[in-house]
Each structure stands twice: as C-alpha cells, then as structure tokens.
Amino acid sequence: LKIFVVLALLFTSFGNLHAQKEEKLFKDSLDGAFDLSKWLIDLNGFIPIISPITEPAVGYGATVAGVYFIPKEKSNNKEFKMPDIVGLAGGYTQNGTWFAGAGYAGFWKDDHVRYRGILGYGDINLKYYGTGDGFLSKNPADFSISSYFFLQQALFRIKNSGFLFGARYIFGKTTVSFFEESKLPEVNPLDFDLVNSAMGFIGEYDNLNNILSPSKGFRSHLSYVQAFEFLGSDRNNSRLNFFTLAYLPINKRWTSGFRIESIIASDNTPFYLLPYVNLRGVPALRYQGELTMLAETEQMVNVYNRWSLVGFAGIGTTAASLENIEFGATAWNVGGGFRYKIARALGLQMGIDVARGPDDWAFYIVFGSAWLK
C-alpha cells in the first residue's frame, strides 16, 4: 500500500493547465500554502510518480510508479472519503535489485470493507547474517532471491466500531542462490527452491484519526498465517504477528507516538521469511530470529504552520530459536527529521528522516506515517 500513497515527488508537467489554474490547484484556500489536496481529489487519471529507495539492505535506487485514485461519490455532509488506489510500480537499486508489481487498495462501503491485492515479481540481492551471534553475524553471505508474490486480503468492520476482522491469502514462488560456493549449515537446502502458499486470519482495533498520517488514536493488530501443503505449499510453516501503534496528543503542537511489535515464526520457516528487527537505520534481515520483539517512540512537534520536527528512538531484540529462548542479537536506532503537511484535506504529511543504527547511518523519504502498514 505504501508505494501507492507516495505523493510528495509528483514533479510532473501539466502543459494543458493555464498558470492561473495551476496556482489555484496547488494553493490551499485556507492558508495559501502549497498543497496537493485539490489536485489529488478533483483530478482523475493515471498519475506518474518517482520515489527514491533508501533501504540500507539494497542500496539507493528509485521506484517509478503510475497511480490512479478512484474518488468516492460526494456525500451531503462533504466528509472526505478515502479513495480507492490502483497502482503499477517498478524499481531498481544500486546493488542490482529490481522489482515490478501491481496493487489495489480499496476502501468500500464507507470504510466498512478494506481490501488489498498485490501481484509482483522481485529479483533482490541481500546479505544473510544468520540468527544469533554466530559466524555469519560478522561475515554475512551474499545471496539473491527471485520471487513471484501474490496477496489477497479483506477486512470487515463490525458495525460502526473500530474492530475489523478478516482473512489473508499469500502465495510465493521463490528461488534463492548464494554468490559464494560455501555450504551454510544454518540454511535448509530446501529453502533454495520453494513454493509457499498460506492463508490466515486478521483481527484489528483501529480508531486512528487518519489512515495516512495519524496524530491521535490507537491501532492494534493480531494476525496468524499458516502455510499448508494441501494449498500447494512445499512444507507447512506459520507466523504470528502482533503490533500496537499509539498516538497521544500532549497538546496542540506535540504528538507522542509509541509502537510495540512482536513476531513469532515456526522452526521450519524459510530463512528469508524469518522475522527481523524492523527499525529505521537497521538494514532489513540484519537481525533475524524465530522470535523478534521491538519498541519505538516517535515525538512530533509542530513548529510553524504545516512544518513539524520529529525525533525517534527504538530498540529490538531476537531469539534464534523458540525451543530454547535466549535473547541474543539486539538492535537500536535513534534519529530525527521533519514533516510538511503536503495535502491538508487528506491529512498527508511528507518529510525526511535521518537514523543511526548499530552499524551505520541511513536516511528515508517518508510519506505518511513511518509506521504505515
């Protein structure tokens, strides 16, 4: 979903618009500031987007996408309704990683049904650090993962409450190759060519005041996904995921955010699907285990009109095995950045974060919330 709300780098040309119309289109009627709300809501069509990739695990790169917003019919109370989003995207990074895919995010029946569908392919080059503090943690092995990915998900709201329940289906066909010819005892050879077909259930409570850039409310999520051989999976494996996001307004200018997350995977989970500590400043797959736990806080202070400053810090840990839980590898992050409210009607903010982790610095272009899932 996140790639389809990447709105801040819409530096496209509109030769058919007169200068006066352009000024009104990108100027907010309330404060006169630069704003994309009217352009996004009132204009229909296929919108080109260029977005940078700054994930440390794959290096710098760019994503090129085409996004189509499907607006809802306007109601009498003129309340904003989240449009459906259709997108095509492809990307490439400096380490040779590339991917392409398509997706649809639907918000139906006055947000009583939330649908998500994704189809894609990726050829991704990563490093495997193993689990725990073994040899690979200091001497990672380079590998390439080629995968077809398909996802179907639907959530249904219980009446007008914040509770949503639903189901998810995930299919992946993956081929893995290591660049070194060495044998890796931690890796099951069956992981090198694997079909994973899984279904699961999702439960959520969500009363966030904005789905893109929340400043108040809670979201708690619990999901369980099980791969079954009778669904076409090469072997059974499972994953349990829990997270809670909390946004607490301290006063009119200061919002205090908190995030906790834990993921548990079964012992026969492919090594590349093992959970990892997901923090800004920490490369993907750097700290993996069958169990991960993390906590992060983000403090945002509005300093002038649409401009805000952000500071964040977090810590996460992993356990290599569920049979003998010993928390070993620990990661942390600290950093800061800024936000600009780029689309007031949508409540959408954008900005840049700079983060420091245990190994290096990283920066991120942020659209919406950094915790958007």
What pLDDT is stored for residue 7 in this prediction?
A: 40
Which tokens is 187 given? 């890796």
What pLDDT is stored for residue 190 in this prediction?
A: 87
> Which residue, 267, 116, 204, is CA-closest to 275?
267
Alpha-carbon distance 60 to 121, whole Å? Answer: 19
What pLDDT is stored for residue 188 in this prediction?
A: 84
What pLDDT is stored for residue 19 in this prediction?
A: 43
Q: Where are the domains of the chain?
A: 2-367
Q: Tens place of pLDDT for every residue, the chain, 373 residues?
A: 444 444 433 333 333 333 445 557 788 878 888 998 877 766 555 678 888 999 999 999 999 999 887 877 776 666 767 788 899 999 999 999 999 999 999 999 999 999 999 999 999 999 999 887 888 888 899 999 999 999 999 999 999 999 999 999 999 999 999 876 556 777 888 899 999 999 999 999 999 999 889 999 999 999 999 999 999 999 999 999 999 999 999 999 999 999 999 999 999 999 999 999 999 999 999 999 999 999 999 999 999 999 999 999 999 999 988 887 778 779 999 999 999 999 888 888 999 999 999 999 999 999 899 998 8
Cα-based distances in Å from 189 to 175, 176, 245: 11, 10, 38
What pLDDT is stored for residue 195 in this prediction?
A: 97
What pLDDT is stored for residue 284 in this prediction?
A: 94
What pLDDT is stored for residue 22 in this prediction?
A: 53
CA angle (29, 33, 36) in 5-degree steps: 80
CA angle (57, 60, 63) in 5-degree steps: 105
What pLDDT is stored for residue 12 in this prediction?
A: 34
What pLDDT is stored for residue 373 in this prediction?
A: 83
Alpha-carbon distance 83 to 69, whole Å? Answer: 6
Q: Which CATH architecture has domain 2-367?
A: Beta Barrel (2.40)
**CA torsion, points 126, 130, 136, 142, in degrees to nearest 10?**
-20
What pLDDT is stored for residue 187 in this prediction?
A: 84
Alpha-carbon distance 186 to 351, whole Å? Answer: 40
* Residue 160 neighbours by CB under 8 Å, 6+ apart: none
What pLDDT is stored for residue 4 in this prediction?
A: 43
Element (H, E) at 81: none
What pLDDT is stored for residue 129 in this prediction?
A: 92
